[in-house]
Chains A and B, each alone.
Chain A
């Protein structure tokens, strides 16, 4: 039986498996740009925007494999379904993986929210000889079902028309009797929710942590105790975990539904991209391919971005034209020395803050984000997780950790947020520690490549070897100290795709804009702070305090102390300072390697510390900071002594 719902504008949640194109469809419906990519876990936060043609507010939610939720990002999706007053749910499914899609459809249908199903990536289903049977499915489910290819904007208008008439699905799952009894008893006990009582009871029986917390917050101890008792009685009567029995019953319904579609009778045909996909994770071919990818990134970001573009922007455009003009213009209009110093002095807002941000950092982050966009849209990142699983295993983690770690090469603050895709608190804590300790962001990576690449390949290798070595050793030790077991590696490998140029360019622009908004104010604040400290002679005092560490322990010139002070705000800011000192001929090759290694091991920036505090609490942020700075200085000094001992010069 189907019941058409009265339709009024309101909230519509996009729900679906990870990596099925929810964010791309969200953008097509709203025009609101969100970062989407070809790997599971791109969306870790809830995003809202008003529809272009429909008056609804669409909610883009993180992907969920099935209920009960397992990771923090999946839990955010459950909260949307529980807490939002939804007028409809748009399920985004993978058209070529009907069985998995329908497993989620059955669960959403049980929630009693008007539902529309978009079978997305229909082009890939066609390519594999599995054309989606939208009409047949629509009749079976009693729902509007539309085939879409969101990335090309195909099927969006029919989908919008379907969204105007979402319906309550006609699917009903019959569970084993002990579960049905428990559902009836819980329905009388649990507080009202925006989803059906039956669905809420099932989520509670399956042990969904969000529902458990939601019910606990709304029930007194007696009712909660009674609910837990009902669950225990059902589990005892069945003799198997309730969540397994619930899943079993749903699969029976899904198998029956799939059997009635024309897609089930079509045979899949292999495509060329599958062969490429297999090569990327192959034990023999995977590593040379990885080396090619890394070399390509090094060339594009390190040589072209940090070398050619920075050289032209900093040396020619800013050095010869813009900065001399700004300095003379400020000299003409300002009679006060202090104002001239503030704007165009040694620590001037323009000569230091803006020049660092625009001439040195911008070309590096732009080239990195473009290269990273190509990588993530191709579907290579999950394959990198497969290849690196053994390395992360040594650090008590699994290959999934590579996604936030590689994202950290773009921006550690962003990557800290992405740790939500990891399945345990322990894994999230370990990855956050490693991100804070030794994953250089794109800006810093570019400066490192520019500075050490100019010395020799050995210098780069020493820097990389020490940083990776510290990461592995700290990870190995931390994994043994932080309580909890290592999570076993299981992940989906999305299909390899040729990265479309337009989305990659748009994504690069959006990320650069985000980066500039974050970086420029911090660079300016850093410049002002250094300027004030310099004016009141506190800088000289602070440098004096830091000097024993910088000069005696790290064996660097006293001028490097200023750069390390700047490194407390942002380590790339400090690295840029060291880059300029090296440019003045004040650092030997050995000192360059020591200074770059030390600053790479610093906490990334103020913003990343704030993000750790937001994600894991102020205590964790303080502990990470307190551990990382002394460790960085210690490793730097030790490295200098080792290099001196072996007589390394370049």
Chain B
């Protein structure tokens, strides 16, 4: 799980931040070990899990920092890396298409999906994936 405030990744099962809390036994909240921010652990809470599945968050899993889905249209950005939340298969697929750390891509549009120019090819990818690609200003 990643803290929505500071981005620290931690295991909610470990209960590192709230072990001292008297309610920690049946509690389905998780506290960030770095900043103490409280987040609902949707794997533990059935009702919150059901709600989360019915109304999926558009920002859930979004890594902290600049990501490809937010890059300025018409500009060029350097790929800085991939979020840990991205599967190895997706990571390798993007790399095979030329979207890989260190490379510069042209951002062409974000709606209905993100389209980037890589070398002489255009690659279309959904926001779900584009939000897991870190970008930085073109060197």
Contacts and interface: CB of A to CB of B under 8 A. Distances in A.
Interface of A: 65-66, 70, 94, 96-100, 103, 124-125, 128, 130, 241, 243-244, 247, 251, 268, 277-278, 281-283, 286, 382, 385-387, 389-390, 398-399, 488-493
B126 interface: yes
A493 B123 contact: yes
Contacts of A281: 109, 112, 115, 124
Given A97-B119, A99-B98, A128-B120, A247 B92 contact: yes
B120 A103 contact: no
Contacts of B100: 251
B96 A493 contact: no
B126 A488 contact: yes
Contacts of A283: 109, 111-112
Contacts of B126: 389, 398, 488-490
B129 A251 contact: no
A491 B96 contact: no
Interface of B: 88-98, 100, 108-109, 111-113, 115, 119-126, 128-129
Chain B at the A interface: mostly helix, strand, loop or mixed?
Answer: mixed
A141 B77 CA distance: 31
A266 to B, nearest CB: 11
Given A97-B120, A130-B120, A399-B124, 16 more contacts: A65-B96, A70-B89, A125-B120, A128-B120, A241-B88, A244-B88, A247-B92, A278-B109, A278-B115, A382-B124, A386-B112, A389-B126, A489-B124, A489-B125, A489-B129, A493-B124
Contact of A490 (B93, B98, B119, B121): B93
Contacts of B88: 241, 243-244
B112 A100 contact: no
A277 B124 CA distance: 12
B94 A247 contact: no
A66 B124 contact: no
Contacts of B93: 65, 70, 490
A26 B94 CA distance: 28
B127 to A, nearest CB: 10
B116 to A, nearest CB: 10
A99 B109 contact: no
A492 B129 contact: no
A128 B117 CA distance: 14
Contacts of B109: 278, 281-283
Contact of B113 (A70, A125, A130, A399): A399
Contact of A100 (B96, B115, B122, B125): B96
A65 B115 contact: no
Contacts of A99: 98, 119
A252 to B, nearest CB: 11
A490 B92 contact: no
Nearest to A284: B111
B124 A100 contact: no
Contacts of A490: 90, 93-94, 97, 123-126, 129
A282 B108 CA distance: 9
Contacts of A398: 126
A66 B94 CA distance: 11
A12 B84 CA distance: 41
Contacts of B122: 277, 492-493
A387 B96 contact: no
B69 to A, nearest CB: 12
Contacts of A382: 124
9 contacts: A94-B120, A100-B121, A128-B120, A278-B108, A399-B113, A488-B126, A491-B125, A493-B121, A493-B122
A103 B124 contact: no
A13 to B, nearest CB: 20
A251 B94 CA distance: 13
A603 B14 CA distance: 53
A277 B123 CA distance: 12
A240 B77 CA distance: 26
A70 B108 CA distance: 27
